[in-house]
Amino acid sequence: MNPKELRQYIERKKESDYLIVDVRQPAEYVGGHIPGAKLIPVKDLVASLSILPPDKDLIFYCHSGGRSAAAATLAVEGEASIKNIYDLEGGIMAWEGRTVPNYPRVQVFDKARNLSELLLVAMDLEKGALRFYSHIKDRLASGPLSETFGQLSIEERAHAKAVYQCWKDTENDPPAYEVVLENLKGEILEGGEDLNGTLRRTAATEGNICLGLIELALHVENSAFDLYRTMAEQTDSKEARQVFLSIAQAEKKHMRNLIDVIDQCNERGKTPERAS
For the chain, which domains are there? 3-95 (3.40.250.10), 115-264 (1.20.1260.10)
Total-model pTM: 0.79
Cα–Cα–Cα angle for 177, 235, 87, nearest 5°?
Answer: 100
Residue 220 near residue 129 (C-beta atoms within 8 A): yes
Q: How far apart are CA 35 and CA 240, in angstroms?
A: 46
Residue 62 annotated among the catalytic residues of the structure: yes
- The 3-class secondary structure across 159-203, one letter per residue, is HHHHHHHHHHHHCCCCCCHHHHHHHCCCCECCCCCEHHHHHHHHH
Q: How far apart are CA 138 and CA 159, in angstroms?
A: 21
pLDDT, position 274: 44
Q: Inter-axis angle of helices 66-77 and 209-234, to 10 degrees?
A: 40
pLDDT, position 191: 67
Q: Is 56 exposed, middle or buried (0-12, 13-18, 19+ CB in 10 A)?
A: middle
Q: How far apart are CA 274 and CA 109, in angstroms?
A: 33
Q: Which of 62, 166, 210, 265 is catalytic?
A: 62
How many Cα atoms are found within 13 Å in the side-chain-facing hemisphere of 181? 19
Q: Closest by alpha carbon to 6, among 81, 73, 74, 84?
A: 84
Per-residue pLDDT of the chain (276 residues), as tens digits, is 999 999 999 999 999 999 999 999 999 999 889 988 999 999 999 999 999 999 999 999 999 899 999 999 999 999 999 999 999 998 998 998 765 554 444 455 565 678 888 888 889 989 999 999 998 888 765 566 788 889 999 999 999 999 999 999 989 999 999 999 999 999 988 767 788 887 877 766 667 778 888 888 898 888 888 888 878 877 888 888 888 889 988 999 999 999 998 888 865 444 444 444
pLDDT, position 206: 64
pLDDT, position 112: 62
